[in-house]
Amino acid sequence: MPRTRAQRRATEGLFALGDDALRNVLTLLSPSACALGPGATSRALRELTTSRLLQAARTSGSYVLRPPDHGVVHALATAMGTQQWATRSVRRHQLNREGSAGFANAAAVPPSRLRIIARRQANHATTENHEDDEEPYASFFASLIVGQSQSIRCDGGRECALSAGSYIGYELPFLLRLSHFRLSIGRCGYSTFHDWSFEAFDSEQREWRRLFSCDRSPWADIPYANWVPRAVTFPVDYAGLPFPAARFRVMQGRRTCMHIRGLELFGTLVPGWSLD
């Protein structure tokens, strides 16, 4: 008897999972449990979702996060898409009021286990990490890095006119073999945002390795009057064998503004990863 369209789609959907953790988890449900009928199968699946066996199976294998959809930051913020990403109101300065250019009403809350790293070089002064920023700017900066917020005007922000050697990036709580990254940029200096690179820290070689270089802004052709934040996804290129890393950054190679928005990472989570 030929299979129905729904049956074909179900089979194709299962095989489309490849060798990711979800497919491995499904094999933990025994054939005898499935033979007892939908009700018993449903109860067995509910018990499985809270079992230690499931937790062990999830992290014992690799897990692939592919573009163009949700990446590592989204996974950390939403527990792999099982929760809503929390939001908050943030302001650049104390004097910013709701509705002003320096105020974001529903900005994304950075995941608690994600460490944002930043080194700003400007006017002969260097700030080593955004965690040294005072409020309210610290929260404002962190939310705009993880979420693609509306563009704001340039009014003395700390990401303006940064010198070569400045960088912004992430430190993850597990290892990721990167395949792509995605980011947007604020209106300030978007057309001249070039001569930058994307790097990952190779802990085995104890050095930063370049995975992508940009010599022309991907947003350069957008008229200033028509500007809206637009995310671009970039594939990475390994010189040699791909390697897992926990630290990634956008490194600036010239003096320019660096208003990064919605930085997201894609790739393969190395076995042993955990969102807890």
Looking at this protein, which amino acid is placed at residue 268?
Answer: T
Q: What would the pLDDT profile of 58-115 be if each residue is shown by its tens digit?
A: 667 788 999 988 899 999 999 888 899 999 988 888 888 887 777 888 889 999 999 9
pLDDT of residue 266: 97
pLDDT of residue 27: 62
Half-sphere exposure of 94 (CA within 13 A, CB side): 2
Higher pLDDT, 185 or 123: 185
pLDDT of residue 12: 47
Q: How confident is the model at residue 186 (pLDDT cuts 50, 70, 90)?
A: confident
Neighbours of 275 (CB within 10 A): 18
DSSP sequence for 18-35: TTSHHHHHHTTS-HHHHH
Half-sphere exposure of 88 (CA within 13 A, CB side): 13
38-49 helix and 52-60 helix, angle to the nearest 10 degrees: 70
Average pLDDT of the segment spanning 1-23: 50
Which domains, from first to last, does the chain contain? 5-61 (no CATH), 65-269 (2.60.120.260)
Higher pLDDT, 175 or 50: 175
Place of tokens 């990952």: 200
